[in-house]
Amino acid sequence: MGLFGSSKDKGPYVPLPELSLQLANPPDKVFKPDSTVSGHITLIVPQPINPQAIEVSLWGLSKVWLRRDVSSSDKSSEYHHWRDHAPFFTVSHNLLEKPQQQLVPGQAYTFPFSFRVPEATANYRAGFYKQDNDGRWTSAPHALPPTFFWGVRPGQGIPDYAEISYGVTARLLCPGVGVGKNLDPIAATAPLTFSPLNPYLNPAAPLTVIRHPQTLTLQSSALTGASPSSLGFRQRLTDRFSSATPKLDFETALEIPDLLHSGLEFRFRASFAVLSKSGSVAHIPPITFRVLKLELRSLTHVRAPRDYNASSWMDGHHRGRDHVPVNGAYSGQEQTMYREAKVLLNAVPDCTTLVLDEVPVLGEKDAKSVQQAERTECWFVGRVPGTMPPSFVSWAVSRAYCVKVRVGVEVGGKKFEVEKENYINAVGSAPGEGGV
């Protein structure tokens, strides 16, 4: 055994070196691509040592561990495990000026370091999963995703969980010095919070919306110019079944943006357009739009291949090994997981009433000859909460968003409901936090 062996050694106990890592950045700092990560490592040794390296690494990692109980009887429990272990990047430096230089007790050795945070990963993961072209994820290099965790206890490695993490790790590499029966290097880690840049924050960029039309029909005597409140039950019943009742076919459309930003407002539009009307239609009553629901849904997708090297116990330890290796080729089975979270948003205004404008009749010489316009529209404003994290697509974890809008439309005393969903192309990070 080495100088700093396990407690089972017969010789006297010798304390291990003390290794600590301190970042110069504030603990709550959110790092972005090209940000500087700096700090220092402090090492105190109880006995002279000749280390090979004092290594410091900046790293990013995606990890997934899913577990399922597949027991077939009540006598014993059996578990299957699915794992994904995918490094985004690792940048390492040896801070020792001279390898094997002797470090002696009685002083604290300080080693400063500095890194630049990369913007993307250059790694490919083709062949690691069931389908490389599944649109929910990617197997190609991509922009680094934000810090992410789904599970019960963050940082404790308890399934089921999915984690995207970043950090700085310091390690003392010295023959005969380590912890555990395998003399693993003494190490210290400082986690980092990362958020990607928001490439969509361009004030001059045009508003891109997705249009969701729906055709509706109104058959009512209110189209003759009569007040809807003056129509009694008998008249409404007659309107419903009589072929002579004035009839209006119209289109209501919701136009929802496909790009949102955390912490910022967004606009969506409701429109009314006449498609056709019977000859007995003399006047189209005012149109009222009322936002009944504005909902933002977060959609998280996770995948991991079956880990056939894991034991069938709850802990899923590898047979004959202590650590989970980086995945190799696709194992032949894959487990996926889907989670959804909903947030209700407010719309301003929540209700508005529109009156069709009077416009000149085309082709008529008399300037006083007017008719009702055949279309109108209104805008509503919502706001994405500032705590909403950005969307992203990575190898084993992705997060997307969907906006659901339900609008009530009232024309001539008759009420309709229109509900549409719009899958958002991207939700960018908040300005000032991975924004610009």
The predicted-structure confidence for 322-362, as pLDDT tens digits, reads as follows 555 556 677 789 999 999 999 999 999 999 999 999 888 77
Question: How far, in whole angstroms, is CA 102 from its chain's centroid?
Answer: 49
Q: How high is the pLDDT of residue 398? A: 97
SS3 275: strand
- pLDDT tier at 363, thresholds 50, 70, 90: low
Whether 85 has a pLDDT exceeding 90, the answer reads yes
Whether 96 has a pLDDT exceeding 50, the answer reads yes
Q: How high is the pLDDT of residue 1? A: 41
Q: Which residues contact residue 52 at a Cβ distance below 8 angstroms, ignoring those fewer than 6 apart? A: 99, 100, 173, 174, 175
Distances (CA, A) of 1 to 6, 183, 391: 8, 9, 50
d(CA 349, CA 307): 53
Whether 272 has a pLDDT exceeding 90, the answer reads yes
- pLDDT tier at 12, thresholds 50, 70, 90: low
Whether 149 has a pLDDT exceeding 90, the answer reads yes
Whether 166 has a pLDDT exceeding 60, the answer reads yes
Q: How high is the pLDDT of residue 176? A: 86
**C-beta of residue 65 within 8 angstroms of C-beta of residue 97:** no
Which has the closest alpha carbon to 139: 194, 84, 97? Answer: 84
Q: Does residue 37 or residue 387 have the better pLDDT?
A: 37
SS3 228: helix
- What pairing do the DSSP bridges indicate for beta strands 397-411 and 209-219? unpaired
SS3 391: coil
Q: How high is the pLDDT of residue 100? A: 73
Domains located in the chain, CATH noted: 18-194 (2.60.40.640), 209-428 (no CATH)
Q: Please state the rounded mean pLDDT for residues 302-306.
A: 94
Q: Does residue 242 or residue 387 have the better pLDDT?
A: 387
- pLDDT tier at 83, thresholds 50, 70, 90: very high
Judge residue 279's burial from the number of C-beta atoms within 10 Å of its C-beta, 0-12 exposed, 13-18 middle, 19 or more buried. exposed
Distances (CA, A) of 281 to 32, 136, 374: 61, 50, 13
The predicted-structure confidence for 193-236, as pLDDT tens digits, reads as follows 999 988 777 666 667 889 999 999 999 888 887 777 777 667 77
Residue 54: beta bridge partners? 172
Q: How high is the pLDDT of residue 226? A: 76
Q: Does residue 99 or residue 290 have the better pLDDT?
A: 290
Q: Please state the rounded mean pLDDT for residues 58-86.
A: 88
**Torsion angle, alpha carbons of 98, 104, 107, 108, to 10:** 50
d(CA 221, CA 250): 16
Q: Please state the rounded mean pLDDT for residues 107-130.
A: 95
Q: What are phi and psi of 218, to 5 degrees?
A: -120, 125
Whether 177 has a pLDDT exceeding 70, the answer reads yes
Q: How high is the pLDDT of residue 433? A: 53
Q: How high is the pLDDT of residue 370? A: 82
Q: Please state the rounded mean pLDDT for residues 23-34.
A: 94
**C-beta of residue 165 within 8 angstroms of C-beta of residue 61:** yes
Which phi-psi region, left, alpha or beta, contains residue 319 (left: φ > 0; alpha: ψ -120 to 50)?
Answer: beta
What pTM, to 2 d.p., does this model score? 0.83
High-pLDDT (> 90) share of the chain, %: 61
Q: Please state the rounded mean pLDDT for residues 9-38.
A: 87
d(CA 273, CA 373): 9
- pLDDT tier at 5, thresholds 50, 70, 90: very low
Q: Please state the rounded mean pLDDT for residues 387-413.
A: 95
- pLDDT tier at 2, thresholds 50, 70, 90: very low
The predicted-structure confidence for 190-199, as pLDDT tens digits, reads as follows 999 999 988 7
Distances (CA, A) of 412 to 213, 225, 268, 273, 284: 20, 9, 24, 15, 8
Sheet holding 209-219, edge to edge: 209-219, 247-257, 265-277, 375-383
d(CA 390, CA 32): 13
Q: How high is the pLDDT of residue 436? A: 37
Q: What share of the chain is helix, strand, coil (3-state, %, to 5)?
A: 5, 50, 45
Distances (CA, A) of 29 to 199, 263, 390, 435: 20, 18, 17, 14
Residues 85, 113, 93, 47, CA torsion sign: negative
Whether 390 has a pLDDT exceeding 80, the answer reads yes
Peptide bond into 160 cis (omega under 30): yes
Residue 99: beta bridge partners? none
Question: Please, what is the average pLDDT of the chain?
Answer: 87
Token representation of residue 198: 């928001």
